Amino acid sequence: MACDLCNLLAEVKLNSGAALIWGDDRLSVVAVDEAEYPGYTRVVWNAHVKEMTDLPAADRSRVMDVVWAVEAAQREILAPEKINLASFGNMTPHVHWHVIPRYRDDAHFPNPTWAVAQRASSAEVLAARRALLPALHAAIVEKVKAL
């Protein structure tokens, strides 16, 4: 069975890193193309590993340190109401974390992003948040490199 994240990482590398924010030999930080959620980011273990506990302790710590760095950058640059962190893997059993900035005016707040939308998002607000993405991506790189 093909893995969506393994395929995504292969595409990111072929497309000169268009969605890649940062990466090394173990991890990739990838911008998620989700119109309603500018700044939505995934931290993905490069090798196909199913569970966090399949990784040695030092690698598990590295994954979480990068997740915290992404969260810190989102808080600093985007100033969201809340950050949602999630690691499911039911559909894609490959170690990865979703780091999602949330706002009181987003389409689903206070519910999860996969719930029924509560309201329409403002195109102007979304555009203003998208305009912050270059600064967000630079902040993520800076924070991860400082680890």
Structural domain including 42 reads 4-145
Tally Cβ neighbours within 10 Å of residue 133.
15
Report the C-alpha gap between 110 and 104 in whole angstroms: 7
Q: Are 39 and 101 in contact (CB under 8 A)?
A: yes
CB 104 within 8 A of CB 81: yes
pLDDT on residue 12: 75
CATH number at 68 reads 3.30.428.10
Write down the pLDDT at residue 9: 84
The whole-number pLDDT of residue 110 equals 95
Confidence (pLDDT) at 14: 62
Alpha-carbon span 123 to 95, nearest angstrom: 33
Work out the number of other CB atoms within 10 angstroms of the CB of residue 117.
Answer: 13
Question: Tens-of-pLDDT digits for all 147 residues of the chain?
Answer: 588 888 888 877 666 555 899 999 999 999 998 999 999 999 999 999 999 999 999 999 999 999 999 999 999 999 999 999 999 888 888 999 999 999 999 999 999 999 999 999 999 999 999 999 999 999 999 999 999
**Closest alpha carbon to 7 in 38, 59, 44, 33:** 44
Entry pTM: 0.93
Question: What pLDDT is stored for residue 1 in this prediction?
Answer: 54
Q: How far is CA 78 from CA 7, 42, 107, in A?
A: 29, 16, 17
Q: How many domains does the chain have?
A: 1
Rounded to the nearest 10 degrees, the angle between the axes of helix 133-145 and helix 123-131 is 40
